Structure 1
């Protein structure tokens, strides 16, 4: 068993740039022990990166076919990255709990404003700035708190195997106000947030997608010590949209975890989440 795994991966069913099989072939070529496809789940309004509802059955059929085709080469799993929108549409919703999946990722990309409006906060820095200025009247702290309040609601609701990019808001927040993640109020908020995650017994993803370009992990590297302090189990994922990037940032993330006293990461082994020793 090795630490070459990735369970956060997007193919042509959502905003990935290649067919699912291309990711599987690359994982096999690189010696991965297991791999998961986790397209963005459908949502009840138009989005340029979520899977269309009518494609969900085709997705299940295709990934299951790949699991059979490559069963002697790799442990392949099927998942979905499911948006928490509100209490009526989230990873715990019956539509996703009855979908035959090996795992579910719980993530927040949209914030609910009022009764019906949803705004995308995982967007370009330019659009994010417009959102802060026009919808939150320039109050970046209010937006960040709304994001973490929504994450807490998702965690309370449940229905997922692990939390996807647990502080993804930090990337655009830092672009809006340099040093914001080191401010006292933010550190207090993050402390309470991860303490709550630990109380709920959740697994957190170390998301390496932005490491190569921005030197950012999600959660932020400075908060790995909190994950260790609260004994929160972690799984390392690349959140990849291109086959060539399925292993981006993994070694750096594992070294960082080791430096904070982690000895194990979570991996799927014969369909079950297991603690596997970090060996690099």
Structure 2
């Protein structure tokens, strides 16, 4: 395993969260490396959505892991001396069913482990991906959760706390990601005291570990090349939100700015804005 703390303390020319052709990314690993070099990155990590024990169009297949590792090794050798490349996965936490501490991940030569919550259990036990676009989320709210947004948010943060307690990973991915869809479904929800208590609970839990919290810039700003209509309806934000970032800084929790890039053009999107908030500007 690499020392993420040392790298993040020594430079800001890094990105440890990205997706390519091996999951739901839109470009090849080679294209991402080339762009990262052009952007002046010194450290770049690949983190495809890990295999999980249930069907998902966004997650990589366990059958493609060997191919992923082989392509990584090829690129690492090819670009040796120009950029430091790292093998990782964004590992979904599914409660007792799956997570970064599962023995499976000891069989893959990962340099670090990034762990995130995308799925929560519906009342009938179905694992539901609550990420994605607001329109899709609205449909899932009706189909799986009887439009009970409190249940969804509570479940998301309960699972996040379980993930932190169980451990086995080094970096926590976009821990308030549910706020995006929850705010679209119920505007103002993130300002409600009960929601803010969830944020406080996560901060308290992380404070007692050596986990690095990711500042995810994927949704900031609107994608380059987006149409006027798309830009008009685009919600530009960071995960966690600026106020939460400031609370993390005050708590002394180590932070890493990652783009969660699915396109090479997004590798540095929102980076300066996130770093400015960390710096108190």
1:11 paired with 2:20, answer yes
Distance 2:139 2:236 in 1: 25
Conservation of the 8 A alpha-carbon contact between 2:170 and 2:210? no
Distance 1:202 1:223 in 2: 16
Q: CA deviation at 1:136?
A: 2.4
Unmatched 5+ stretches in structure 1:
261-280
Q: Which has the higher strand share?
A: 1
- Alignment partner, residue 253 of structure 1: 274
TM-score normalised by structure 2 residue count: 0.89
TM-score normalised by structure 1 residue count: 0.89
Residue correspondence of structure 1 range 9-48 to structure 2 within 5 A:
9-48=18-57
Conservation of the 8 A alpha-carbon contact between 2:246 and 2:277? no
Q: CA deviation at 1:2?
A: 4.1
Conservation of the 8 A alpha-carbon contact between 1:86 and 1:112? no
Conservation of the 8 A alpha-carbon contact between 1:91 and 1:97? no
1:135 paired with 2:144, answer yes
Residue correspondence of structure 1 range 65-84 to structure 2 within 5 A:
65-84=74-93
| Pair 57,114 (structure 1): closer, same or farther in 2 beyond 3 Å | farther
Q: CA deviation at 1:50?
A: 0.7
What root-mean-square deviation, in Å, do the aligned CA atoms of Structure 1 and Structure 2 show? 1.5
Unmatched 5+ stretches in structure 2:
1-9, 223-234
- Alignment partner, residue 276 of structure 1: none
- Alignment partner, residue 54 of structure 1: 63
| Corresponding pairs, count | 260
1:224-280: per-residue Cα shift (whole Å, max 9, x none)? 1220222110111000001111000001100011017xxxxxxxxxxxxxxxxxxxx
Distance 2:51 2:98 in 1: 10
- Alignment partner, residue 162 of structure 1: 171
- Alignment partner, residue 269 of structure 1: none
Q: CA deviation at 1:138?
A: 2.2
